[in-house]
Amino acid sequence: ETGVTQTPRHLVMGMTNKKSLKCEQHLGHNAMYWYKQSAKKPLELMFVYNFKEQTENNSVPSRFSPECPNSSHLFLHLHTLQPEDSALYLCASSQGLFVRRAGGETQYFGPGTRLLVL
């Protein structure tokens, strides 16, 4: 496996369910991110982790609970979600916190998990 992988790719859950999204990066990066993309809206940053420590929580409701056991893995635990939480959830990683290199490449994204809350 290379790059950033996310599982599951699709998830349907009821409002009372508990589920988890998983992200794994095989790039040796130290920073990982969760984004939410709703229809016709910009990508919204949710959480940032650097060397397993959370460095940013962008006012995300507590029904979303992130976990970063090591620099290669990031989870998003979901419980009692609302239908408006239905969206594409993207994970990304970067070498450091927004490293600007000559090539300019910064965050590498996974394919996302398409979540539907009924």
Partner 1 sequence: DQQVKQNSPSLSVQEGRISILNCDYTNSMFDYFLWYKKYPAEGPTFLISISSIKDKNEDGRFTVFLNKSAKHLSLHIVPSQPGDSAVYFCAASAEGAQKLVFGQGTRLTINP
- Positions touching partner 1 (CB under 8 A) are 4, 9, 31, 40-45, 48, 50, 55-56, 58, 90, 92, 97-98, 100, 104-112
Of the pair 15, 27, the CB lying nearest partner 1 is at 27
CB 67, min distance to partner 1, A:
19
Of the pair 65, 106, the CB lying nearest partner 1 is at 106
* Residues 108, 33: Cα–Cα separation, whole Å: 10
CB 11, min distance to partner 1, A:
14
Sequence-distant (6+) residues with CB within 8 A of 47 are 33, 34, 54, 56, 57, 58, 60, 66, 76
CB 108, min distance to partner 1, A:
8
CB 29, min distance to partner 1, A:
14
In order, the DSSP letters of 18-39 are: EEEEEEEE-S--SEEEEEEE-T
Of the pair 48, 87, the CB lying nearest partner 1 is at 48
Taken as a whole, the chain contains a residue count of 118
* Residues 14, 32: Cα–Cα separation, whole Å: 27
Of the pair 31, 78, the CB lying nearest partner 1 is at 31
